[in-house]
Amino acid sequence: MPTTPVITARHLSKTYYTFRKPEGLRGALRSLFYRERVAREAVKGISFTVAPGELVGFLGPNGAGKTTTLKMLTGILHPTAGEAYVLGHIPWKREKSLLKQIALVMGQKSQLWWDLPAADTFLLNKDIYELSTSDYRRRLKELTELFELEDLLHIPVRQLSLGERMKCELAACLLHSPTVLFLDEPTIGLDLVSQRKLRHFLKEYNARHQLTIVLTSHYMQDVKELCRRVVVINHGVIIYDGSISDLLAQHAGTRLIKLTWAEPLPDQQVQEDMRRSLMTLAENSERRFRIAEFDAWSTVLEVSGGATAAGRTAAQITAVIPVSDVQIQEPDIEKVMAELFSTAPASGTDGAGDERAGSRL
């Protein structure tokens, strides 16, 4: 039987309204009687579902609508149109039965009391979520061991490093055993070691408890290590929903093949002969390729198409040219995402068509 989604969004939209004021004293006086209202569509009719235990990456450039979507799914914002259900509840109704089952961590905002130890925030959350003393102690013990918080609990938060604070933030949000966790750029500002540790903690917790996680991040390493599925949003609309491997296959136009010669090419003439041989193969190959790098020890070829095309090209070349090693390199996901964002159609999906209407006071 099909699994009931934990999160369902149908044609979800959010429009922000602001007022535009001309500069100068004249503009200020004029705005007392007439203001130009500007409507900006941050999210435009998106639809998707998330299954129980799924860890989904929600990706997009700045201003794409990621955080707005998360705020609607957690009930912080009301949508302009559409509907959403989280664990069967409408999130912006803010029902206690739902709030006890979800958590939101925002990398640029903190729920920890700055001048108090994290342990005091944990005690406060115990009362807010109405945890029994036994459940609280059991959960605190597990989270303290998992996030390695033994030496941090009783130190004022302002004296902790950014990575230590983020571990405490996560522990505070997981204390009440939520079913769904929303993470908005949790690794922002962290060093590489702290990022790696945080990813390990999240992966471990997800494996233990089958927690449903929706993650936004600008760090592609977070997504590659944690998420099997990604939802890409740009200009307020979803432009891709699927696996990372399919994303690369669909939007990465080339693969790189590195060939290491069986023996180093001894002189300039031999190198030129090898280069000409490769160019001849390129002209007759099923998939055209170009020489990206070439030296006496190896060459790197850029092949159009996916991994299958690269494999066939490598087999065709190694059948006639002796090599000691073949490496087919996966495309850089950050480069693919940047190209996807830049080539996504903006017509009708960005703020260029903002509704503008004069509003008299």
- Straight-line distance from the first to the last Cα atom of the chain, in angstroms, rounded to the nearest whole number: 57
Confidence of residue 353 (pLDDT cuts 50, 70, 90): very low
Delimit the domains of the chain by residue range.
51-79+94-249, 253-330
Cα-based angle 172, 178, 180 (whole degrees, multiple of 5): 115
Question: CA angle, corner 207, sides to 204 and 213, nearest 5?
Answer: 90
- Going by pLDDT thresholds of 50, 70 and 90, the confidence category of residue 34 is confident
- Spatial distance between the Cα atoms of 332 and 27, rounded to a whole number of angstroms: 49
CB 292 within 8 A of CB 301: yes
Say how far apart CA 203 and CA 209 lie, in whole Å. Answer: 10
Q: Which CATH superfamily is domain 51-79+94-249 in?
A: P-loop containing nucleotide triphosphate hydrolases (3.40.50.300)
Burial 247-258 (b: 16+ CB within 10 A, else e): bbeebbebbbbb
**What pLDDT score was predicted for residue 345?**
53
Supply the pLDDT for residue 344. 59
* Contacts for 172 with CB less than 8 Å, ≥ 6 apart: 111, 112, 118, 121, 122, 125
Gap between the Cα atoms of 241 and 56, Å rounded: 10
Dump pLDDT digits (tens) for 183-200: 998 888 788 888 888 888
Q: What is the per-residue pLDDT across 119-146, written as a single tens digit (0 to 9) for each? A: 999 999 999 999 999 999 999 999 999 8
Architecture of domain 253-330: 2-Layer Sandwich (3.30)
pTM of the shown model: 0.78
Q: Say which range, 9-13, 251-255, 288-292, has the weakest mean pLDDT.
A: 251-255
Length of the chain: 361
User: Which residues, listed in sequence order, are joined to residue 255 by a DSSP beta bridge?
Assistant: 303
Closest CA to 353 of 179, 235, 195, 234: 235
CA distance 160 to 114: 10
Going by pLDDT thresholds of 50, 70 and 90, the confidence category of residue 90 is very high
DSSP H helical ranges for 191-255: 192-209, 220-226, 244-251
Burial of 211 (0-12, 13-18, 19+ CB in 10 A): buried
Of the chain, the percentage scoring pLDDT greater than 90 comes to 43
Separate counts of helices (H) and strands (E) for the chain = 12, 14
